[in-house]
Amino acid sequence: MTHLTTRGRGPRRLRRLDRSALTAACVTALSLTASGCVVVHGEREMLPAATQAEAARALQQFTTAYNKADKAYDGSLDAAHTTGALGAIDAARLKAGQANSPDGNPQHTPLVLSDVTYTIPKKAGWPRWFVADAKANKGGDARWVLVFTRGDLSEPWQAAYLTLVAAGALPEFTKDKDGWAQAVPADSAELTRMPADLSKDYATYLKDGGSTFADGAYTSTLRATRAKNAKKPGLVQQYIDEPLTSGDFAPLALRTKDGGALVFFSSHHYVKQTAAAGASVPALNKSVRALTTGEVKQSLTMEFVANEIAVDPVRGSGAVSVLSRLEGLTGAKGE
């Protein structure tokens, strides 16, 4: 089975792709203050990840770069502003678009984000990160929830996660008197599941079921849909699910007012379609064809990256609920 590769700063990033949602769709050493330069140790000091102005600037830079890349179908134009799951999803989307429309995107409509709420945790150490929750002119009535990360002071802010969430669906966050949110450690054992384990738990759940996750569109319904599609006349469809947790795919969690956490995490998936003798794999759409290597004779293995938002309650108070999931095709192989 082909595995995703990373590039950039070590296990830094799988570079990008998407399905429909995107096509339809601080301080380690130095902190500037009003009074001048103050040396602080970001690995120990509890500091806001960014100011509101810095967060707004990061979102604007991302939006500008995203629109340029989408218009030209050129992944190099937003490569510096995306990473992690979103980076992998977006890169493949642009690669497929360029293959099918070398002159650019004939249906480009600039993304416009408005009514933005920034949730910025105060934390020690790197990476720094924050959440932007915005209304968009794409994706219907759902709000775009993006997570921006930064590995150190020399790096730009990059969007690592993007999911679409119904308005009002996000829980309330714990904030201090100055309005800063609280990051939850990945190894926190006070929750139903440690954030560090959610990707592995999700992959296991999709295969075997269980009680870790509450029923819903991205859990029980998804499993039921897979079971229905597993065998059809002349075609078998197999699923392989893997955790995706290293580098810029690491989970990030915010404390909610009820003591639980909202967790952003990534996952990695394969779908293999195998045709019976005398039958053929269903016709590929042009985006899948653009990302497919090899010749599709009797089978096609498609590779996906997904990012999810889940509510992880206090241990003993219920199952994990997956609020949203955005999945994108990142490659395919014919045999």
Cα distances from 252 to residues 156, 181, 283, in angstroms, run 18, 13, 38
Beta bridge partners of 275: 235
3-state secondary structure at position 302: strand
pLDDT recorded at residue 44: 67
Per the model's pLDDT, the better-predicted residue between 124 and 312 turns out to be 312
Q: Is 92 exposed, middle or buried (0-12, 13-18, 19+ CB in 10 A)?
A: buried
Strand partners, 137: none
pLDDT, tens digit, 9 for 90 and up, residues 52-64: 999 999 999 999 9
Residue 9 has pLDDT above 50, yes or no: no
Express each pLDDT in 133-180 by its tens digit. 999 999 899 999 999 999 999 999 999 999 999 999 999 999 999 999
Tell me the mean pLDDT in the region 241-251: 96
Tell me the two tokens of residue 27.
């301080």
pTM of the model: 0.86
Q: Residue written as tokens 């379609």?
A: 273
